[in-house]
Structure 1
């Protein structure tokens, strides 16, 4: 999956399928940004429609995580003093 562009989020709003059913937006959006899915040659709305609900939910969550404008924070408690504070988790791969 690649990062979404403004066009990825705006252009699907003009699609008649989205206009008649706003819930279809996620299908069009994921079809635009998912770059590879298993051994499939291309990703289109029909492919996204055919996913199991759990797989669709995973892709939605991943989309939201990589396209979030702010870094995720995790609440932690210091084991020595008990102070609670928010920290950014370390990115996988050391990024």
Structure 2
């Protein structure tokens, strides 16, 4: 993958929108959008970094907190429906689904349903919410309210530790 493609892949939604607006204003010689503008309008962020609240503890005791989740495909949502574990227990659907879309967790690159089912409940809940945000809402931001002053503001759930700016 070229560095330009990787850069476009990692652009935030506002940066993509700004790039598209800027490119739309630069037509090529025939008056249509330039080839560069056409390439930018097709870019889409497909992978999102995250940091688990507690972390997955592997067999050797190493804690893995940082990871990457990719956007889900239709196949990712359909294949688990044929899984016997899901047929026996529909609640297992999210475990199998997350095992398909979490592409990295710490130093682990083979993340599967077995890894997901061994996570702490708070980390599983975090991943379920993160999945919903990036696939249904298209972003990783959440509206929160300060418990002290009641001020409302947005936070980005992707990979930032609580309390850090």
Q: Which has the higher helix share?
A: 1
Assess same fold via TM > 0.5: yes
5+ residue gaps, structure 2, are: 1-68, 144-153, 158-165
1:22 aligns with 2:90: yes
1:67 aligns with 2:122: no
In structure 2, the CA distance between the partners of 1:43 and 1:70, relative to structure 1 (3 Å rule), is: closer
CA RMSD of aligned residues (A): 2.3
TM-score (norm 1): 0.72
**Which residue of the partner structure matches residue 56 of structure 1?**
124
**Which residue of the partner structure matches residue 12 of structure 1?**
80
**Which residue of the partner structure matches residue 35 of structure 1?**
103
Q: Figure out how many residues of one structure are paired with residues of the other and give that number.
A: 78
